[in-house]
Structure 1
């Protein structure tokens, strides 16, 4: 949400992006070299955040669901729908990334050569998700293994009851601390983005930026397709209501999310819209706040498009198995990174790290994040409302 005073961070990043283009285009290469360390420092800081942020956030997110035995029908339905729609969103993003090829032809070289690794089999991907040594997984930043360990740890804390509460308190404190650290690092983002884009433009020319229009188009097309096909399809099939009824009922929340770019800030509007559509309070009060925390279909779709964009821009082939790994990582990771300032950027860093892609590409995406954030936030809360509507109907509500 934009701050009342000054320029909001996301627009500061956008200004840094534009300024970096101009500086890289006009300044001499020797002058650009002086700002290069700023970009490298920003990349290092982003990498520093990933492991503790994802671990603590995901543990708290899972454990905060409460007594797993008493979650009942509503909890199971809600979680299943959120995870399934998130996976579908990533699939749409990957499909559009393969179809539109937004990063093709950029030919950005890495400082050190990146060799394509032999693609592991699907069985190996699934087996490698489970860590033999959780601490080794953290040291090596193996994000899939960290996510699986965090899921087990969060569930175990819940089952341990009162004896698990001190451990949960520790991770809750660590998560809040990491959120503050993330906010500090993101303050540096405009300068890091400025430096990285300036170096890129200076080295490869301004034409290297043209594919960003394809990225924006792919994300917007994907979000619209997901809303029209998946969400309205869910409402029509399971809630027995027309898509027009649904989109008309949720339009105020969708527009609010588009303007504010905040799922949490839009939550009161979303709850009011769902109330007006006949969703009972007992369903809305559980499904919608949980959705604002873990349901990130718009962000997930953006991960698929951007991961392929980065791979194509740096000339790194991604096999179907590697793309399946992106789907799994982004689906599970969406639980752990929601609600964090700069969540989309942090989540993209998580996905690119797991896929073996250069995180320099994340800073390139950061420059257009304001435009992408609008549509993906709007899709996020539209998904929350669709799931609430379907769950309410399944519980016998008259919509």
Structure 2
């Protein structure tokens, strides 16, 4: 009874964001002139995200690599390959969906931004290399996420040989930064309220159509990956009808993950499903927690679709080689996504950096992501978590079939 009362007093973040979205819409309709004024709440929320996201990327990547365990015989090499393949395929599905159904957002672009389309794959690769070798302090100041990702990987590899105390300190720092991110994300309902109220006051109700289109592209791409892309990968590995396994993973893992919105929180559910499927315990006890961190097909779709929505809005032309580079960057970025709700959204500036899109505009896209995240984040988590079990089972079926 006490638990039920506490839940009533403290609604979930999804419920709070829905309330903020509806309240912002009603406020803009009733007080259109005051809608712009409360936009300060949205501005402060975006500013807080801009402040914490660069530190999060650097510390999270370094800590996860530095504390990675080695030497345990768990036969997970094939599972890791499936994780990587599935995440990269999902990023490509997101890119293809964006090309077929381009989304246009309402963004505030400063007059002196000076954006221009990349001259081709050569220019994109040159920009990428220069960002990788950026000074770490400069990368933090200018929110160069590609440079921060490179420094995070480098520091993580170097600190793998450090003492246990040093690595624990880095893990504690990562937990502290994650706590700060959680605190900022708790402000999302107020931020969404201010963003929606200001946006509807200035642009009218027609802007909601853009969000519905964007959400349809995101969820449609995730459904395609869950019902077509993943089954094709499983069939290629096992040479069996994949759908009984796919549908069972979606039913027993995906539905739970949809409502918990946390791959980490869904780990016990996935462990139990692996036990029911009769999988090797020493394998899934390592592969499932690892998958909750690096197997991020839904996040890869989110990053690629929202990045290309910004690109389309700004009129930047994207050729095929550049789209392939974006797919790789989105897949790598998705593997480093934070475990908090909406964590994948904080990696969008990394992908936007490929096209010279500044942090100010990229963080507006992140804010849009929080608005559609009421549904998007649930669908993303359901795809991510159900795929963890799917690929573990597929790899074990393939291994047993070769015996």
Q: Could you tell me the TM-score, scaled by structure 2's length?
A: 0.87
Correspondence list, 1:210-221, <5 A? 210-221=209-220
Partner of 1:265: 265
Structure 1 residues 371, 123: CA separation in 2 closer, same or farther (over 3 Å shift)? closer
Q: For 1:139-170, what per-residue CA distance to the aligned partner results, in whole angstroms no more than 9, with x for missing partners?
A: 32211121122112212222x1xx34343223
Do the aligned partners of residues 99 and 388 (structure 1) sit closer, same or farther apart at CA in structure 2, a change above 3 Å counting? same
Tell me what 2:164 maps to.
Answer: 165
The CA deviation at 1:27 is 1.5
| Structure 1 residue 100: Cα displacement | 0.8
Aligned residues: 389
1:338 pairs with 2:342? no
How far off its partner does 1:47 sit? Answer: 0.5
Alpha-carbon distance between aligned partners in 1 of 2:156 and 2:72, rounded to the nearest angstrom: 15
Superposition pairs of residues 19-34 of structure 1, within 5 angstroms: 19-29=23-33, 31-34=34-37
| Deviation at residue 66 of structure 1 after TM alignment | 1.4
Matched-pair contact (CA < 8 Å) for 1:35–1:195: yes
RMSD of aligned residue pairs (Cα, Å): 2.6
Q: Is the 8 A contact 1:129 1:145 kept in 2?
A: yes
Name the CA shift for 1:141/1:16 in 2 (closer, same or farther; >3 Å).
same
Q: How does 1:8-157 map to 2 (within 5 A)?
A: 8-29=12-33, 31-67=34-70, 70=71, 74-103=75-104, 108-119=107-118, 121=122, 122-128=124-130, 130-157=132-159
Give the corresponding residue for 2:188: 189
Seen in structure 2, the aligned counterparts of structure 1 residues 305 and 28 have a Cα distance that, compared at 3 Å, is: same
Could you list the structure 1 runs, at least 4 aligned residues long, displaced by more than 6 angstroms after superposition: none
**1:215-254 superposed matches below 5 A:** 215-250=214-249, 251-254=251-254
Q: Which residue of 1 aligns with 2:391?
A: 387
| Deviation by residue 1:242-264 (Cα, 9 ceiling, x = unmatched) | 22221243221122112322212
Which stretch has the larger CA shift, 83-92 or 326-335?
Answer: 326-335
Asked if the contact 1:298–1:380 (Cα under 8 Å) also holds between the matched residues in 2, the reply is yes
Change (3 A) 1:323 1:112: farther
Tell me the CA shift for residue 397 of structure 1.
7.3
Structure 1's 109 and 342: CA in aligned 2 closer, same or farther, altered over 3 A?
closer
**CA 1:186 to 1:255, structure 2 compared with 1: closer, same or farther past 3 Å?**
same
Residues 67 and 171, structure 2, Cα contact 8 Å, conserved in 1: no
**d(CA) in 2 for partners of 1:171 and 1:386?**
32
Instruction: Mark the CA change 1:239 to 1:263 in structure 2 (over 3 Å): closer, same or farther.
Output: same
Is the Cα–Cα contact under 8 Å of residues 79 and 287 in structure 2 kept in the other structure? yes
Residue 167 and residue 328 in structure 1: after superposition, are their counterparts in 2 closer, same or farther (change >3 A)?
farther
Assess if the C-alpha contact under 8 Å between 1:46 and 1:349 holds in 2. no
8 Å contact kept, 1:337–1:347: yes
Q: SS in structure 2 opposite 1:213?
A: helix
- Give distance in 1, aligned partners of 2:366 and 2:145: 17
Relative to structure 1, the CA distance from residue 377 to residue 74 in structure 2 (aligned partners, 3 Å threshold; closer, same or farther) is: same
Structure 1 distance, partners of 2:18, 2:317, is: 29
CA drift of 1:236 comes to 1.6
Contact (CA 8 Å) 1:25, 1:206: kept in 2 or not?
no
Residue-by-residue CA offset, 1:335-369 (whole Å, 9 max, x unaligned): 33231243133233554466515122322231221
Deviations 1:7-33 (A, max 9, x none): 11122122212222222233142x223
Distance (whole Å) between structure 2 residues aligned to residue 184 and residue 391 of structure 1: 38
Distance change >3 Å, CA 360–CA 301, structure 1 → 2: same
Alpha carbons of structure 1 residues 7 and 398: separation in structure 2 relative to 1, 3 Å: farther
Structure 2 gaps of 5+ residues are none
Gaps of 5+ in 1: none
Deviates more, 1:18-27 or 1:216-225: 18-27
Among 360, 374, 377, which residue is 2:378 paired with?
A: 374
Deviates more, 1:266-275 or 1:284-293: 266-275
Instruction: Look up the match of 1:276.
Output: 276
- Give the Å deviation of 1:181: 0.7
- 1:209 aligned residue: 208
Whole-Å separation in 2 of the counterparts to 1:107 and 1:178: 31
Q: Using structure 1 for the length normalisation, give the TM-score.
A: 0.88
- Secondary structure of 1:65's counterpart equals coil
Instruction: Tell me the secondary structure at the aligned position of residue 310 of structure 1.
Output: helix
Q: Secondary structure at the match of 1:119?
A: coil
Contact 1:235–1:389 at 8 Å: present in 2 too?
A: no
How far is the alpha carbon of 1:89 from its aligned partner?
0.8
Name the SS of the counterpart of 2:29 in structure 1: helix
Displacement of 1:278 in angstroms is: 2.9
